Structures are given as C-alpha cells and as structure tokens.
Amino acid sequence: MARLLHIDASPRGIRSRSNMVADRLIAGLDGHEVERLEVFDADLPAFDGAALEGRYALIAGDPVDEAVRTDWAAIGRMVDHFMSFDGWIMTVPMWNFGIPYRLKHYIDLITQPGLTFRVVDGQGEGLAAGRRAILVTSGALDIRPDGPMAAYDFQLAYLKAWLGFVGVTDIDVIHVRPTYGDEASVAAAMERAYAEVDALLPILSLPARV
Ligand SMILES: Cc1cc2nc3c(=O)[nH]c(=O)nc-3n(C[C@H](O)[C@H](O)[C@H](O)COP(=O)(O)O)c2cc1C
C-alpha cells in the first residue's frame, strides 16, 4: 500500500473540473491511502523578509537565525509532511498561463536546500527521487505541450521542471481541457480526461517505500 498526498490547487470545491477527474482516479486506487491537502485552505506562513534569510543561511551552510527559528520549524514540519509520502496527486488549474498563486506559495515554502534538494559538486540533487507524481491539469483553453498553443504553457512545464528539481521524474499527466466552450465540447473534454484516468489506472505502479 502506498501513501499518497493529494495536493488540491483549485479553490472551487465540488465545482472543480480537475477534482472531478481526480476523484475518479482516487476511487480507482484500491488499497492505497490518499490524504488531501487543499492549498487554498492550508495555513501557509508568509515567506518573506527574515524568514527568507533562513534559506540563504542554509545555502551558505549556516544555522538559521534565532529570530526565525519558529518559522523555520513550521517550514520543516511542512517539508517533513510532504516528504513522508510515497507519491503525489496534484490537481492544478491553469491560472493566467501558470499555476494558482497558493500552490506557488506552497512550493516556495517546501523547496528548501537540504530538505527537498541539495547541491553536490555544484549540481542540484532532488531528495524526493524515486517517487511518482500524477498531475491532473485543467484549463479553459486547450493549451498543452504538444498542441498549437504550447508556447502559452507555464503550468505543466513549470510543474514538471519543479518536480524534476526535487527529484521526481516519474510523472503521469491527465489533461482536463478545454473546460470553456459549448456544453458538448466541455462534456467531450471531461470524457477524454476520464478515459485518460481509466487507461492509466491499470498500468500505474505505486510502490510503497521501504
Ligand atoms: C484566475 C483565473 C485565471 C485563469 N487563467 C487561465 C489561463 O490562462 N488559461 C486557461 O486555459 N484557463 C484559465 N483559467 C480557466 C481555468 O483554468 C479553468 O476554468 C479550469 O477548468 C479550472 O479548473 P478547476 O475547475 O479544477 O478549478 C483561469 C481561471 C481563473 C479563475
């Protein structure tokens, strides 16, 4: 049994198209445990000013300043929580060609030197290597990496780049798009997304880490 974290980056609750599709995926993950993190409801501490200096201290190999130890303890707990899972499901709508700001905030908090990546001989090394991410990405327009509007994709391209940076290279993608248009074309997009889920489930390998 694998433990998965479902990082939900849509604030739309039951109206969320990406979550409708993720629900189908999660329902098919018999025997695996899925915990949900709604980034729009999560308590995400500010990552600015003094707290940010802690990151530069870590990069320099120095201890984090006493004044921001409490903030950094909270960041450490968030990273421990993220890193405790065998894999991640992410539901991510495209917002202004990229990702919703609350997901970016979460990513900025957990992407820390020595915690989710480290630098060895000048090279970055992701510490979440060997695990899987399943991305359920939505968008009003059919912007996808292999399509005619690929130049506008800073959503999936960004997510793949960030996951790669923290070491995650086994990435499955479900497209829920276009979600804007006449009823028939939106319904067809949903059916295509559900079909992608149904095709993925039988071949999905989700080993638990030992
Ligand atoms: C603030 C905001 C910005 C958006 N920007 C884009 C965009 O750049 N490209 C796009 O295709 N859709 C964009 N959309 C539409 C959403 O991606 C689309 O409605 C998607 O289906 C939402 O997914 P959800 O229902 O899971 O929240 C935007 C929506 C919002 C609320």
Average pLDDT of 25-51?
A: 93
Ligand 1 atom nearest residue 91's Cα: 26
Per residue in 112-143, pLDDT tens?
A: 999 999 999 999 999 999 999 999 999 999 99
Q: How confident is the model at residue 63 (pLDDT cuts 50, 70, 90)?
A: confident
Distance 1 CA to ligand 1 centre (A): 34
For residue 11, tell me if it sits in a domain: yes
CATH number at residue 144: 3.40.50.360
Domain that holds residue 29: 3-45+83-203
The total number of structural domains that make up the chain: 1
Distance 61 CA to ligand 1 centre (A): 40
Per residue in 155-176, pLDDT tens?
A: 999 999 999 999 999 999 999 9
Q: Where are the alpha helices (DSSP H) in the chain?
A: 17-27, 49-59, 69-83, 101-110, 156-165, 183-200
Distance 47 CA to ligand 1 centre (A): 25
For residue 50, tell me if it sits in a domain: no
- What predicted TM-score, i.e. pTM, was given to this entire model? 0.96
Ligand 1 atom nearest residue 15's Cα: 25
Residue nearest to atom 3 of ligand 1 (CA): 95
Contact 14, 97 (CB under 8 A): no
For residue 183, tell me if it sits in a domain: yes
For residue 92, tell me if it sits in a domain: yes
**Residue 210 pLDDT greater than 90, yes or no:** no
Per residue in 94-115, pLDDT tens?
A: 999 999 999 999 999 999 999 9
For residue 62, tell me if it sits in a domain: no
Distance of alpha carbon 113 from alpha carbon 72, whole angstroms: 12
